[in-house]
Amino acid sequence: MTTRLLPAILYDVLDNLKNDYKQRSSIEELLLSLNSIFGPVLTERALELIDDESVFLIQSQERYIFQVVGSRGDIYTIMEVSNFCTCDFFKHQVLKDRALCCKHFLAAKVAFILGNFKTKSETPGSVTSILLCAYGNQEIK
């Protein structure tokens, strides 16, 4: 598998991990897979965020998103359907193809697989406001 192919199939890879975990409930296998795909450093940082209870699922009747509280208290919004984050790591590493994703994105996805997150219910309008706030003012440089 080339490094260029992996970003394109990132969602398939995560889906497979989710299905494997659902069928076998083996945390050891999940961790081994995460380590081999994302590397031990990114995996460990994502798991730390989950352990710190920093992952929140924000849901309305229409959709759900994740919010991850970063190590310095900043809040990052992760959408279900795209690999994107507003953190500096994403801007400087992921967008330049030096990493597959950031720890916030991985934490949200792994927390979802494990069912280890806190849930907040919001109105559809509030979820839209969160997304506009997170992504509406991004500068493209």
Question: Interface residues with Zn ion (CB under 5 A)?
Answer: 76, 85, 87, 90, 102, 104
Burial class (CB in 10 A: 0-12, 13-18, 19+), 90: buried
User: Which residue, 28 or 73, has its beta carbon nearer to Zn ion?
Assistant: 73
Q: Report the nearest approach of Zn ion to the CB of residue 26 (Å).
A: 27
* CA-based nearest residue to 62, from 80, 85, 77, 75: 80
User: Which residue, 6 or 87, has its beta carbon nearer to Zn ion?
Assistant: 87
User: Which residue, 30 or 102, has its beta carbon nearer to Zn ion?
Assistant: 102
Q: Report the nearest approach of Zn ion to the CB of residue 107 (Å).
A: 9
Give the CA distances from residue 50 to residues 34, 45, 46, 104, 116, in Å, rounded to whole numbers and listed in that order: 14, 9, 7, 10, 7
Q: Report the nearest approach of Zn ion to the CB of residue 77 (Å).
A: 10
